[in-house]
Amino acid sequence: AGKLYQHAPTETSQATLASVAPVFAVMKFDKKGNTTYFDKKKTELYQELGLQARDLRFQHVVSIATRNNRIIMRMEFLKAVITPEFLLILDYRNSSLEHWLLNELASQLAGEGQLVTYSLPFEFRAIEAILQYWISKLQGRLNSLQPQILETLEALVDPKLFSVDRSKLHILLQNGKSLSELETDVKVFKETILEILDEEEVIEELCLSKWSDPQVFEESMSGIDHAEEMELLLENYYRQAEDLLNEARELRVLIDDSESIIFINLDSHRNVMMRLNLQLTMGTFSVSLFGLIGVAFGMNLESSLEEDPRIFWLVTGIMFLGSGLIWRRLLSFLGRHLDPPLPPHVPLKKSQPAAGRMEIKTSLKGETLGLSRSTITNQ
């Protein structure tokens, strides 16, 4: 009774775990490009493939690994398992992914596409097709971002603008974030391939047919070992990722330079407004200073000057003339202290060795056509 009591919860728990196991929507491709669809639980799938449960634990990461003569590729939402006989795409229900799977992948695996590995074993074609899809996906993201960023920068980098359109800055900020995400994805993809290239054993393990049929992988038709061809294949996409990352970096540098130009233009316009404000303040000070004379004559105090009709025009002229002279003086002071200073003059050395003078004469004689020796000596 005790043994039955102990085994009953275990069987119940196993049945419960099997019932809640995730179900994969699987698309299967064989060597000829034939496609089949089916749904299968995770427990059944990894048992049929001879894998562990953790091998089918797909996250949104980029990785390429080998397990039990199987290649497991994770390209974020693209999850694939490659064997020497077929290719499995798990959770393929994605709008962009379904278009590629139905229209391109089957023909590429059958040797009708533009893959350079069509004459090699099946796993070569599968790896190249997936890598080609992912690098084209990254290239498409860059191609869609580049014209938007250039158009926004062209609208912002304009010296005639006294202010910056906030909507354009918002668009540039969003595009900058998208570009940063793209740079991160390309770096992860490049580092994933680089990790494989640094491990010779991993490259050998990617050649699945080597373990099922060793004679196939002794040498290729061109005399190059197939492991070397796998390395060349990965290096090709590594270079493409490097070129793509360089383009993204150039676009990032262009954004940073454009931001600097925008700030310089805004600072220039701000300096102009500040200088104009300072000039008007000086003019106001000059008028107010000589306006004290009019204030003095405007007091209700009697003097002998108000009886002379010429005093009004004399005082008015002195006020305007004095205000103009002081304003002009202040403007000249402002110009002397705000204009950038000229670079210092570097005098030439007066004394030179005789050999140095002879070399100068010879060079000047060679560079100037038709100059006399006396002219060269004076120079």
Query: Of the candidates 71, 86, 110, which is a domain's last residue?
Result: 110
Backbone φ and ψ for 268, nearest 5 degrees, come out as -65, -50
Half-sphere exposure of 338 (CA within 13 A, CB side): 13
**Quick one: 175 and 237 in the same domain?**
yes
193 and 318, same domain (yes or no): no
pLDDT of residue 159: 58
| Same domain assignment for residues 313 and 243 | no
Would 212 be classed as within a structural domain? Answer: yes
Which of 338, 297, 301 minimizes the C-alpha distance to 319? 297
Is 80 in the same domain as 161?
Answer: no
What residue type is assigned to position 340 of the chain?
Answer: P
The domain boundary residue, chosen from 214, 242, 266: 266
Domain extent for 55: 21-110
Tell me: do 178 and 221 sit in the same domain.
yes
Measured from the Cβ of residue 369, the count of other Cβ atoms closer than 10 Å reads: 6
For the chain, 379 residues long, give each residue's pLDDT as a single digit of tens.
444 444 444 444 444 555 556 788 888 988 888 888 888 888 888 888 888 888 787 777 888 888 888 899 988 888 899 998 889 988 877 767 878 888 888 888 877 766 777 778 888 889 999 999 999 999 999 999 999 988 888 877 765 655 566 777 788 888 889 999 999 999 999 999 999 998 888 888 888 876 566 555 454 444 457 788 888 999 999 999 999 999 999 999 888 887 777 777 777 777 878 888 887 887 787 777 777 777 777 776 666 676 777 777 787 788 788 778 877 877 787 766 555 554 454 443 444 444 444 444 444 344 433 433 443 344 3
Q: Give pLDDT, residue 20.
A: 57
CA gap 27, 87 in Å, rounded: 8
Task: Verify that 101 and 151 share a domain, yes or no.
Answer: no
- Give yes or no: residues 123 and 261 share one domain: yes
- Count of CA atoms in the C-beta half-sphere (13 A) of 340: 3
| One domain for residues 81 and 140 | no
The number of folded domains in the chain is 3
> CATH number, domain at 33?
2.40.128.330
Q: Are 183 and 106 in a shared domain? A: no
Is residue 226 in some structural domain?
Answer: yes
Q: What is the edge-to-edge ordering of all strands in the sheet holding 70-75?
A: 35-41, 23-30, 86-90, 78-82, 70-75, 62-67
> How many CB atoms lie under 10 A from the CB of residue 355?
8
- Per-residue model confidence (pLDDT) at position 249: 92
- Structural domain includes residue 358: no
3-state secondary structure 139-195: HHHHHHHHHHHHHHHHHHCCCCCCCCCHHHHHHHHHHHHHHHHHHHHHHHHHHHHHH
Are 189 and 235 in the same domain?
yes
pTM of the predicted protein model: 0.66
Residues 148 and 98 in one domain: no
User: Among the three residues 74, 89, 110, which one is the final residue of a domain in this structure?
Assistant: 110
Query: Distance from CA of residue 166 to its chain's centroid?
Result: 22
pLDDT of residue 140: 92
Give the whole-angstrom CA distance, residue 288 versus residue 280. 12
Can you give the CATH number for the domain in which 254 is found?
1.20.58.340
pLDDT digits (tens, 9 = 90+) for 158-200: 656 555 667 777 888 888 899 999 999 999 999 999 999 988 8
Q: Which of 333, 317, 336, 320 is nearest to 282 (CA)?
A: 333
For residues 191 and 236, membership in a common domain is answered with: yes
Please tell me the distance from the alpha carbon of residue 354 to that of residue 359, in angstroms, as a whole number.
9
Residue 14, sorted as left (phi over 0), alpha (psi -120 to 50) or beta, turns out to be alpha
Q: What is the pLDDT of residues 90-120, one digit of tens each?
A: 887 776 787 888 888 888 887 776 677 777 8
CB atoms within 10 A of CB 138: 18
